[in-house]
Structure 1
Amino acid sequence: MSMPPVPQSPNQTPLYPWGVPPGPPEKSRVGLMAAIIGGVFLLIVALLATLILVGKKIDSSYPRAESTLTAPGTLLDGHYKLAKDDSPTLGPPLEKSWRLSWDAKAVHGVVVAYHPSGGDQGELIVTGMYGRFRNSAGVRSRVLAGNGSQHTEVKVIVPTMDVTPSGSRIKVSCEEVTRSWADGKTLSYPVCAWADGNTWARVAYMTVYTARSLDFEAAARITLQIRSEMVKPIR
């Protein structure tokens, strides 16, 4: 004999199998999923917009590219002539070492050697880059041996000094180093560097004349003359 159904009052919660009420209607599930997907999409859009704004802000902090570093056939009013342009081979490794720097952007390496036209021994070596640079003081410091040269054959014997030649607003950093070769020869010579918003270069005066006679003041003035002959506006 079957049991009669238990009467329920209008306010009594119905008894469901296993004590679990049924899930929401299908339309409610679809709406919930749409809301979740929409929220995720809006979050992604917000993150992308933030990254774009940050990227634009960082890019605007670099100077505009207005100048380039060239390798003319002669330097210092013809007293030095171009002997070798190693930019195609030594430039890319130099660029690679600067690509992750927060102070450099869109960089191109230049490595050239000049020989004295008058027959003096030695050479003048210019290693530099053009692109977009911030923090010129930090860049100058980075490219000199006193900041920790990886070349064990080069040692600093006179620490770095900042020099601003009279009549110029451009600061030059100079130091004196000594270099040794495998055959036992050594040479002490000045090295100077400039850095601006678009270019930097390190000039090694590895000639007999400059190694014996150049002081930092004179080396800084010559460095700025080299800068005036190598840095050209982008056309």
Structure 2
Amino acid sequence: MGLVLGIVGGVVGLVVVGALGLWVVGTQSTSGFPEAEYKLALPETVLDGEYKLAQDLSDSTGQQVEDEAEGAWDARDVRAAVAQYAPQKGGAEGALIVSGMYGRFKNTDAARDNMLKGAADVSSIKVVVPPRDYTPGGDDLTISCQVVTQDQAGSEITYPMCAWADGNTGASVAELSVESVGQDASEVDVEAFAERTLQVRSELRQPIS
């Protein structure tokens, strides 16, 4: 097993739990929820086939999140969509980790922020480039991104993490690669990853038929 593959195995659970842990922020209002028009699916490949589905964690880790969301003031009909994707290219190491939920949500700006804060609350993760908002491709959707470092298996890895939230869907997306090991935070192209996150959203977010 290569170095990155070994690291990814230990990172996935921490990133998923952290990113989803503060999705539900709570207000005391029971009105004004949007209609359920979109859901999150987990296709076999994402980013135009660059990554393939390696683990669907929706029924394990995701179930914990659904249980926590039950009865929340700002969420209705919550379902989790959590997965690890692996590079499709033979011999490539790394992972794309998607930690998402769908249903009917309010307070989407706060939810987006809290997904990033949740990851930062994991003891082994440190935010080295604070969250910044992007609107990639001129889209009116705001995507918030940060860069984190994490100690895992005796190595320090540095990787970007972005999040979006709308009335029906929300997720954080993190990407690890060989370059992540020992990488300087200044070398991470966060704006480019915001664009990749927007593409991931377009591939996962599907109309409810």
Q: TM-score, normalised by structure 1?
A: 0.70
Match of 2:168 in 1: 198
Match of 2:80 in 1: 109
Whether 2:116 is the aligned partner of 1:138: answer no
Residue identity opposite 1:180 in structure 2: D
Match of 1:219 in 2: 193
Question: Are the aligned partners of 1:103 and 1:139 in contact in 2 as well (CA < 8 Å)?
Answer: no
1:84 corresponds, among 30, 50, 55, to 55
Q: Radius of gyration: which is bigger?
A: 1
Cα distance between partner residues in 2 of 1:149 and 1:99: 24
User: How much has 1:165 moved relative to structure 2?
Assistant: 1.3
Question: Are the aligned partners of 1:70 and 1:231 in contact in 2 as well (CA < 8 Å)?
Answer: yes
Deviations 1:37-87 (A, max 9, x none): xxxxxxxxxxxxxxxxxxxxx554111001100000000000100011111
User: How much has 1:95 moved relative to structure 2?
Assistant: 1.4
Cα distance between partner residues in 1 of 2:188 and 2:49: 19
User: How much has 1:102 moved relative to structure 2?
Assistant: 2.4
1:120 corresponds, among 92, 98, 107, to 92
Question: Are the aligned partners of 2:30 and 2:74 in contact in 1 as well (CA < 8 Å)?
Answer: no
Identity of aligned residues (%): 44
2:178 corresponds, among 208, 212, 221, to 208
Cα 1:102–1:84 change in 2 (3 A) is: same
Match of 1:153 in 2: 124
Q: TM-score, normalised by structure 2?
A: 0.78
Residue identity opposite 1:208 in structure 2: V
**Matching of residues 169-180 of structure 1 within 5 Å:** 169-180=140-151
Cα distance between partner residues in 1 of 2:86 and 2:118: 27
Cα distance between partner residues in 1 of 2:157 and 2:60: 26
Cα distance between partner residues in 2 of 1:230 and 1:95: 19
Q: Which one has more relative contact order, counting CA pairs under 8 Å at least 6 apart?
A: 2
Count of residues in Structure 1 that have an aligned counterpart in Structure 2? 176
Cα 1:164–1:210 change in 2 (3 A) is: farther
Cα distance between partner residues in 2 of 1:85 and 1:99: 21
Cα distance between partner residues in 1 of 2:164 and 2:65: 17
Cα distance between partner residues in 2 of 1:148 and 1:178: 11
Runs of 4+ in 1 over 6 A off after TM superposition: none
Whether 2:35 is the aligned partner of 1:64: answer yes
Match of 1:42 in 2: none
Residue identity opposite 2:109 in structure 1: A
Q: Which structure has more helix as a fraction of its residues?
A: 1
User: How much has 1:167 moved relative to structure 2?
Assistant: 2.4
Instruction: Give the gaps of 5 or more residues in structure 1.
Output: 1-57
Cα distance between partner residues in 1 of 2:132 and 2:150: 19
- SS class of match (1:166): helix
Residue identity opposite 1:226 in structure 2: V
Instruction: Give the gaps of 5 or more residues in structure 2.
Output: 1-28
Cα distance between partner residues in 1 of 2:167 and 2:203: 17
Residue identity opposite 1:160 in structure 2: P
